[in-house]
Structure 1
Amino acid sequence: MAKQQFQTEVGQLLYLMTHSLYSNKEIFIRELVSNSSDAIDKLKYLTLTDESLKSLEWTPQISISFDKDDKSLTIVDNGIGMDETDLINNIGTIAKSGTKSFVEKLTGDAKKDSNLIGQFGVGFYSVFMVADYVDVITKKAGSEQAYKWSSDGRGEFEIKPVTKESQGTVIYIKLKDDEVEDFASKHRIETIIKKYSNHIAYPIFLNYKEEVENEETKEKTLESKKEQINAATALWTLPKSKVKPEEYNEFYKSISHDSSDPLLHVHTKAEGVNNYTTLFYVPQKAPFDMYRVDYQSGVKLYVKRVFITDDDKELLPTYLRFVRGIIDSEDLPLNVSREILQENRILANIKQSSVKKLLGEFKKLSEDKEKYEKFYKEFGRALKEGAYQDFTNKEAILELLRYKSTKVEGMTSFAEYKDRASTEQKAIYYIVGENEKILRSSPLLESYKKADIEVLILDDKEIDDIITPAFGAYQEWQFKDITSCEAPSTEQSEEEKKEIEEKYKSIVEKIKSNLGDAVKDVKVTNRLSDSPSCVVKDGNDPMASMAHMFRAMGQEMPESAPILEINPEHDIIKKLNGCADDSLIADISWLLLDNAKISEGIEIKDPIGFAKRLNSVMAKVF
């Protein structure tokens, strides 16, 4: 069969592998053994549920052998195997969005990219760090035809039909000359397996030859040996007291293909109405595909230690898609289908309990501010989604959220905000935008600073603008966006307010007339102290709430015209109030609007007109 080109992204990845400075090359064995374990998992499930495979006689196992003279290492499993389509999809192209995201982050700088490899883990492709070429000989369970996939990792691969008696996969690795001593070694392979794959649930055998001396003749001969080199016990089934921290860490790396230790793990055994075990991990870094629609689930479902699925996104809510781990139920039927899973009461109970357990662990983690800051930097955005999506656990999730503030350095919680507030205050005030610096200098904050009221700075507009209005309240304190709510009350009486409004009534009408449809209204305000004007949203405008809904659905909607508020205590407004030059009033009306928008990080529609008016006004000054 003719040679085929790798998909572009795979080619980039393989180039990086073969030219990598990555020091931890031994992880390729972990990755291949983990793939073998997954293949056995899948076949084991099918032998229990697929009538055509129930009669298959087999003993699940993985075996490793090496040949120093041949400069080779071979890993064999008797799992589900692959057909030609599987080979192309699994090795020739990148089907997994996370891998593609990884490739998109490559910089071309070998050292930086090597660090990325360590963060991400790249499965099968890691073998090309040590291989001159690789042959994959495989036969899919239930198929007659076997295939051989071959590549030197330099841009092409070849697939051809071959003969193979049983199902499963053989990976033959021709080692680079300088890798033979390191990886064609009994002691080295045994050490790597015990370090990374000791708790793979199937036996891993090492086949090797050992020199044996005959006691009588004293002649030395090579004898073939076969030795199991892993514990082959599903780690999650062991009591927590029997599992060492390093064992938890290595098991995480095995199931997640991450090379870093997890940030935390949560191991739970539940007995009672539902009997199940869960072992969840939180990575140190957010998965590369976390914000892609086609993200991969990181949780595997087992029933009585039998693997069921690893791509069901219903096992945990979507906002916890960064969690990796295992759910093992004693009560679900082995032949449970995907459709049944989505509506299964037992699984729903496990899911609900798991969410509460995880949120509780996150709460405990928040007591360590330094560690929680790292966690929140990676996963805070997902938790915000949870406060929006998960009504049942909304209060618990709100406890976990952190925001910047006008009162304190770093991040703060809603509980801390409440503790700092005066006894009269009954709301949590916030301002939303894209740029923290612009938000902190917004004219809208002036009255809050004057009244000594803390305002939270929400500078992730893309998500904050959609979800925060949906929070409703935290412990009976309403959330209030300062761009649409009334300013803090002042000592000004109603009579004084009416007097000021009457005094500036004429100029307000002229400004409103000049601006036309560009504004919804023009008002005098007491919310400003240093700035001449600001723009606010009409909190009662139904279009404002509709805009939130449309953005939540990923659709654009025309923004409502803002309300322009002017500061009657500012010199510009005082002088404008007595001005008789209509053209000057017109220019300044637009400058007040555009300047207010710029101060709040809002793009002005006519920058050329803004510049012309500014020049005109400056010319009149002289």
Structure 2
Amino acid sequence: MKGHGVSNRAETLEFQAEARQLLQLMVHSIYSNKDVFLRELISNASDALDKLRLASMVDKDLDVDTADLHVAIEVDRDARTLTVRDNGIGMSRDEVVQVIGTIAKSGTAELLRKLRESSDAGASQELIGQFGVGFYAAFMVADRVELVTRRAGESGGTRWESSGEGTYTVEAVADAPQGTAVTLHLKPTDAEDNLHDYTAEWTIREIVKRYSDFIAWPIRMTVSRPGAEGAEPTTEVQTLNSMKALWARPRDEVDEAEYHEFYKHVSHDWADPLEVVHMRGEGTFEYEALLFLPSHAPLDLFSPQGRRGVQLYVKRVFIMDDCEALMPNYLRFVKGVVDAHDLSLNISREILQQDRQIQVVRRRLVKKVLGTVRDLKAKQPEKYRTLWTEFGSALKEGLIDDTENRDTLLEILSVASTHDAAEPTDLAGYVGRMRDGQADIYYATGESRTTIENSPHMEAFRAKGYEVLLLTDPVDEVWVERVGTYDGRTLRSIAKGQVDLDTEEEKAEAEAERERQRTEYADLLTWLGGALADQVKEVRLSSRLTTSPACVVGDAHDITPTLEKMYRAMGHEVPAVKRILELNPGHPLVTGLRKAREQGGSEESLTETAELLYGMALLAEGGELADPARFTRILADRLTRTL
């Protein structure tokens, strides 16, 4: 954007290029239901009132009037304007430019890409909800939007205006009332389109009732009533919403539509929630909680600056958004409200982290949420699959730190497996299918299912018919190490340590052959260990390979290369870990190398072959070469000789 300097005169500023494109999508209406613009404006007004009441409690010197906080809807049918006004916290000029003047402060390009790919109007609504641009829904119904605001405690106000054509104006105003007023200059309506006449009283009443009845502040509108015969019409101010705190009502008195609209209010999402969690805590510390499991992941789920979701109220007084003390990070996608009865109204985030009662509430909320997921898995598998697809990666983070709930998390865990290419499995299912005599739960980690399935490490397991869990999330590298066991069985990586899948009968038959191979290959193994000393700590014969010439494995207690890279990316000093090169004694390349060594082949040529053998093993498991240019040159030279 241009022109961030403060001035008393009106300035015309330009939207960013991507923001202009997004605004055009809004102006030309990507929504199937335009009524939601009013919900968004009322929701913003409600948030402003919450923030003002909290600010007045924290700052006793703040000169504000909180005696009659409310939202007002004003209609001028002749001028075709609709105004949503609040006397809340308001905004400074800088906040107007930063918050209102910029659409979707981050991720706009990603939003545009997804919107262009989506031909479904309902899906478009969900995408918009993920980016927090609800204010701009006003341009679906308005040719021009004006905003006048004054921040509580400041003397001057700011006026913002745009017609959605790529620019907006900002100017200082001296006489703005505290709070924010958004005035929409409505587009012309079709004569037959009474449903979208937003100057009609019954239309506004119906929208407020449907979307905003639960708002804790009164939503008022001045209505006109016919006078007695021959008398002038009269006007009266009416409150349009019931203002009942949804979380305080018994569950059997709330219908699903009310839950869904409340969820959209607190989450700024456009899709219905996947599941509702309504609970009440009684005893020494009373509270009510109304939580929601979303139906899709927000785009900031893995962003450090992402919203945490749960709001804290005390005796129905809003205290704070994103209350981290109430929900662990791995459940950051949970949205909703917790209303505590016995906390101080000016409690801080720092005090909350240490508050014993809050810790008790947190434990109960976590157990309830995880119990709900477990119930979905048992009773509503389609909902569970949706939840796990969207949030499984976050839930697995809990296996690392939340030892108290680890058993429940392992119970709801879902992972891909070689047992079924289409359907994932849980650990209980894996254990139930384990072969007679199998002691460990085998797993493999990698960037993708295809990479893992094509890895040399899989060959013996595929040949012997052993099931392997296929773990492709970065967090998988960490939690399997931290958890270690399930149901008394060790979680064992197929890329670590020695692998022996032979039965007792097979071991007896194979031992003599293995001893012969160890003797036959002893010289080659010693020589390779020296030639590749900078890359590997040992070279040995493999029992896990059937078709590949070689693979690279780690010792049983070594960290994996992926985990090593993750720690380094986080700034941790991690010593480089050398791995083990395993050879397939039955592969022609390995037998050929042994014979060439025995026959006194060129040392340089043999060394280059050793490098190629090691490099191919790295690439086969999806690893990275230390010197790709050298590997390519040696390979090109060898190929040239074959022509």
Structure 1 length-normalised TM:
0.91
More deviation, 585-594/519-528 = 585-594
1:127 and 1:190 mapped to 2: Cα distance? 18
Q: Is 1:270 the counterpart of 2:281 in the alignment?
A: yes
2:471 and 2:420 mapped to 1: Cα distance? 14
Q: Is 1:34 the counterpart of 2:68 in the alignment?
A: no
2:299 and 2:341 mapped to 1: Cα distance? 33
1:282 and 1:543 mapped to 2: Cα distance? 34
Q: Is 1:101 the counterpart of 2:113 in the alignment?
A: no
Superposed displacement of residue 297, structure 1: 2.4
Superposed displacement of residue 108, structure 1: 8.6
Where 2:336 maps in the other structure, the secondary structure is strand
8 Å CA contact 1:331, 1:346 repeated in 2: no
Report sequence identity in percent. 37
8 Å CA contact 2:312, 2:339 repeated in 1: yes
How many residue pairs end up in the alignment?
613
8 Å CA contact 2:31, 2:124 repeated in 1: no
2:558 and 2:116 mapped to 1: Cα distance? 54
Q: Is 1:408 the counterpart of 2:420 in the alignment?
A: yes
Q: Is 1:175 the counterpart of 2:196 in the alignment?
A: no
Superposed displacement of residue 604, structure 1: 3.0
Distance change (3 Å), C-alpha of 1:304 and 1:540: closer
Where 2:183 maps in the other structure, the secondary structure is strand
2:544 and 2:254 mapped to 1: Cα distance? 60
Task: Indicate the RMSD between aligned Cα atoms, in angstroms.
Answer: 2.8
Q: Which amino acid aligns with 1:158?
A: V
8 Å CA contact 1:466, 1:551 repeated in 2: no
1:185 matched residue in structure 2:
200
2:485 matched residue in structure 1:
473
Q: Is 1:532 the counterpart of 2:549 in the alignment?
A: yes
2:338 matched residue in structure 1:
327
2:390 matched residue in structure 1:
378
Where 2:136 maps in the other structure, the secondary structure is helix
1:594 matched residue in structure 2:
615
Distance change (3 Å), C-alpha of 1:159 and 1:313: farther
8 Å CA contact 2:156, 2:172 repeated in 1: no
1:131 and 1:451 mapped to 2: Cα distance? 68
Q: Deviations over 1:376-432 (max 9, x none)?
A: 111011011111122222222122221111122321111111111134323221111
8 Å CA contact 1:523, 1:564 repeated in 2: yes
Distance change (3 Å), C-alpha of 1:314 and 1:108: closer
Q: Which amino acid aligns with 2:449?
A: E
Where 2:292 maps in the other structure, the secondary structure is strand
Unaligned runs of 5+ in 1: none
Superposed displacement of residue 5, structure 1: 2.2
Q: Is 1:603 the counterpart of 2:624 in the alignment?
A: yes
8 Å CA contact 2:53, 2:66 repeated in 1: no
2:21 and 2:568 mapped to 1: Cα distance? 36
Q: Which amino acid aligns with 1:257?
A: H
1:391 and 1:554 mapped to 2: Cα distance? 26
8 Å CA contact 1:65, 1:208 repeated in 2: no
Tell me which of 378, 388, 397 is aligned to 2:409. Answer: 397
Tell me which of 183, 200, 212 is aligned to 2:215. Answer: 200
1:103 and 1:298 mapped to 2: Cα distance? 24
Superposed displacement of residue 61, structure 1: 1.8
Distance change (3 Å), C-alpha of 1:141 and 1:613: closer
Q: Is 1:574 the counterpart of 2:578 in the alignment?
A: no
Distance change (3 Å), C-alpha of 1:42 and 1:108: closer
8 Å CA contact 1:147, 1:163 repeated in 2: no
1:65 and 1:235 mapped to 2: Cα distance? 26
Superposed displacement of residue 551, structure 1: 4.6
2:567 matched residue in structure 1:
550
8 Å CA contact 1:277, 1:328 repeated in 2: yes
Where 1:578 maps in the other structure, the secondary structure is helix
1:72 matched residue in structure 2:
81
Superposed displacement of residue 548, structure 1: 7.0
More deviation, 139-148/500-509 = 139-148
8 Å CA contact 1:432, 1:457 repeated in 2: yes
8 Å CA contact 2:477, 2:563 repeated in 1: no
Distance change (3 Å), C-alpha of 1:408 and 1:232: same
Unaligned runs of 5+ in 2: 1-8
How does 1:385-464 map onto structure 2 within 5 Å?
385-409=397-421, 410-460=423-473, 462-464=474-476
1:112 matched residue in structure 2:
118
Q: Which amino acid aligns with 2:617?
A: A
Q: Which amino acid aligns with 1:381?
A: S
Where 1:201 maps in the other structure, the secondary structure is coil
1:39 and 1:401 mapped to 2: Cα distance? 40
1:213 and 1:143 mapped to 2: Cα distance? 43
Tell me which of 17, 21, 31 is aligned to 1:22. Answer: 31
Distance change (3 Å), C-alpha of 1:544 and 1:593: closer
